[in-house]
Structure 1
Amino acid sequence: MIRLEGLTRKFNGLTAVDNLTFEVKEGEIFGLLGPNGAGKTTTVRMLCCLIRPTSGRAFIGDYEVGRDAMKIREMVGLLPESPGLYGELSAYRNLDFYAKLYGVPKKKREENIERFLKMMGLWERKNDPVGTFSKGMQQKIAIARSMVHEPKVLFLDEPTAALAPDSAKIVRDFILELKHEKRTIFICTHNLYEAERICDRVAIINTKLITLGSPAQLQREFGSGKTEIQLKNLGAKVVNAVKRVKGVLKVDVSGDKLFVQSRDPETVNPKVVEAIVKNGGKVIYVTRGVPGLEEVYLKMVGKDEV
């Protein structure tokens, strides 16, 4: 559905996006990850035909970015970094205005506006001016606006930014429901926990493409596979037994906790627990020490913050 072929954008000699090449499948939730200044927003702006590439090509469906700009704009929806809503207009009128711009018939406009405002938990506030809404509520209105014309491809730039946990869950559920409708969803986010939960695949970029794959695949390939195991009265016999388990790369001890590193935790961890129990150990809990995608991200990008 989305195809990039050497996509590049420069600003006054500064390369913001450098030779990106990858594909996004139809009906996929795809995450674009990277630090500030990595080129995520610039990439989305090119794909939505808001700015032209300096070189390279990109396609949305059968249409080429730049050459078929109007066709692409008709079939995509965009949540930008800043909502850009009309504060004096009500939530309903904001959505109705944008739906009219896309030529959505009156009956369909009414159906879509009601549907998306209810999904965002804002139907009861439909007649209130958006300028009186909180930042999080405005974000939800902007997400509804991006979908009011029912685009085939949806671009979301930090969709849960400024949202409280309950509102963020509403947005995640909304995104997953759109996936069930076979829509293609392209998300730029710094929320790695969220990306790990909802994205089918992710690309990590820093102007250039660093790596691409499913969260599970990247964690297996690049993660340390570190697991924390809390035991009751940890002894040397148990530690030595864990070290002998095939696939264990490293074992660290801190009090009654074991930190076990392996390349394939899903296979190795059950064997580790079995070895602990056979040698008289009592397991209190087993947990991953660091979220898998966060661990991969920090290793690939080389940053100490997300």
Structure 2
Amino acid sequence: MTKYALELNNLSKKYGDFTAVDDLSLQVKEGEIFGFLGPNGAGKSTTIRMLCTLALPTSGSAKIAGYDLSKDSGKVRENIGLVAEKLIMYDGLTAGQNLRFFGKLYGIPKKKLEKRIDELLELIDMKKWKDTKINTFSTGMKQRINIIRALLAEPKIIFMDEPTLGLDPQTTFSVREIIRDINSKGVTVILTTHAMVEAEALSDRVAIIDHGKIAALDTPENLKKMLSDTDITIFKMEITNLTVEMIENIKSLDVVTALSKQDEHNIKISAKGPDSLEEIIDTIRFDGGKISSIANINDATLEDVFLTVTGKEIRDTPAANSS
């Protein structure tokens, strides 16, 4: 029988007339790395805040580690850790003092806590910095401490909200390795990110969220297969409006999904159909068009899927607490 770390049923969150999370339903298996991917204001962080008991749902329900989010919030908190987008630490304290402070809040016995602190500092290769004040650390070093702070109480589930945001490539690589190590020890990881590479590299499954709703949910590979039957082809040629119209009316094609004139000599065509490329070439030649080059691309990326699902419009409208 499949065991679920998270079960969401029609979970929603409204701020006045604004719906930040809209009727969200999904399940996350124990031991998964599950990614929430979406544009700014899509509802990712609001979802995490609700699941971590930091915001009350407007409607719907959820179970976290088997406990009801509303009825057993205390039990939920006992089983989760949170790596928030903002660092949760005190600059005037050393790394060890910060971890002791939070460990005491969790009620971890002193002897066990010291052992746990040393184990976690070893995990992130920072044991030598145990007695150094946080305010001397780089952003990357602070984030590594921030991650293990969330692991002190040995949670079953850890939520990570944009864990590599603003980090340099080396630190980003290090944090991703830490996430994989945490997950290999049986901890379920719930990740929010804007980074396509991160979502694809880390996640067993990805939910693309847009306007508070799930727009797509599957493994990264299966999401990319959504576009795998599409030929994205760049033609360099002499083109007429009649040629464009004729291509759009090719009956043997399943669908011409996009046809846009890029300049006076180039058009970009996305089409589905087993013989789409040959049909398009024949049509162009029939109308007297001259083709000087063709570039055919068949391998869709997660970014292609993301832009197809969410569109290309820049999200400039502020949406409080809804990222």
Q: How many angstroms apart in 2 are the aligned matches of 1:249 and 1:200? A: 33
Q: How many Å separate the matches in 2 of 1:249 and 1:182? A: 47
1:215 and 2:220 correspond? yes
Separation of aligned partners in 2, 1:145 and 1:221? 39
By how many angstroms is 1:61 displaced? 2.1
Question: Aligned to 2:18, which of 6, 14, 18?
Answer: 14
Q: Does 1:143 align with 2:147?
A: yes
Give the match for residue 129 of structure 2.
125
SS of the residue corresponding to residue 305 of structure 2 reads helix
**CA RMSD, Structure 1 to Structure 2 (Å):** 2.4
Q: Kindly tell me the number of residue pairs found equivalent between the two proteins.
A: 261
The answer to which of 114-123 and 146-155 deviates more is 114-123
Structure 1 CA distance for aligned equivalents of residues 276 and 72 of structure 2:
53
**Contact preservation (8 Å) 1:46, 1:52:** yes
Determine the structure 2 residue equivalent to 1:278.
Answer: none
Distance 1:223 1:160, change over 3 A: farther
Deviates more, 1:248-257 or 1:38-47: 248-257
Query: Does 1:48 find its partner at 2:60?
Result: no
Q: Residue 71 of structure 1: which of 70, 75, 96 is its match?
A: 75
Answer yes or no: is the 8 Å Cα contact 1:6–1:19 preserved in 2: yes
Higher RCO (CA-CA < 8 Å; seq separation 6+):
2
* Alpha-carbon distance change, 134 to 256 in structure 1, aligned in 2, over 3 angstroms: farther
Aligned pairs (5 A) from 1:61-140: 61-140=65-144
Contact 2:65 2:79 in 1 (8 A): no
Indicate yes or no: 2:309 matched with 1:300: yes
CA distance in 2, matches of 1:151, 1:186: 12
- Kindly state the Cα deviation for residue 215 of structure 1 after the two structures are TM-superposed: 0.3
> Counterparts of 1:244-255 in structure 2 under 5 Å?
247=274, 249-250=276-277
Q: Distance in 2 between matches of 1:222 and 1:86?
A: 47
TM-score by structure 1 length? 0.79
**Secondary structure at the residue paired with 1:30?**
strand
Task: Please give the alpha-carbon distance, in whole angstroms, between the structure 2 residues aligned to 1:255 and 1:224.
Answer: 25
Who is 1:233 aligned against?
none
CA offset at residue 89 of structure 1?
0.6
Q: Which amino acid aligns with 1:259?
A: N
**Residue 259 of structure 1: aligned partner:** 296
How far residue 172 of structure 1 moved from its aligned partner, in angstroms, is: 1.2
Q: Do 2:65 and 2:157's aligned partners in 1 also have CA atoms closer than 8 Å?
A: no
Taking the aligned partners of 1:249 and 1:141, their CA distance within structure 2 comes to 54
Deviation at 1:41, TM superposition (A): 0.6
Which residue is equivalent to 2:257?
Answer: none
State percent identity of aligned pairs: 41
Paired with 1:225 and 1:112, the residues of 2 have a C-alpha distance of: 51
Aligned to 2:243: none
The alpha-carbon distance between structure 1 residues 260 and 144, as it changes in their structure 2 partners (threshold 3 A), is same
The alignment partner of 1:114 has SS state of helix
Of 164, 169, 182 in structure 2, the residue corresponding to residue 165 of structure 1 is: 169
Distance (whole Å) between structure 1 residues aligned to residue 61 and residue 180 of structure 2: 29
Q: Deviations over 1:12-60 (max 9, x none)?
A: 2211100000011100000001111111111001001111100000111
So what's the TM-score if we normalise by structure 2?
0.75
**1 CA distance for matches of 2:100 and 2:230?**
49
Matches within 5 A, 1:261-280: 261=298
**1:90-142 CA distances to partner (integer Å, 9 max, x unpaired)?**
11111111111112222322222122222223222211111222222211111
Shift of 1:248: 6.9
Please list the CA deviations of residues 181-222 of structure 1 after superposition, one character each: whole Å capped at 9, or x if unmatched.
121110000111111011000101111111100000010013
**Secondary structure in 1 aligned to 2:92?**
coil
Deviation by residue 1:199-257 (Cα, 9 ceiling, x = unmatched)? 000101111111100000010013566699xxxxxxxxxxxxxxxxx957549999888
The 1:38–1:224 alpha-carbon spacing in structure 2 relative to 1, beyond 3 Å, is farther
Aligned to 1:182, the other structure's residue is in SS state coil
Deviation by residue 1:150-170 (Cα, 9 ceiling, x = unmatched):
100000001111222221122
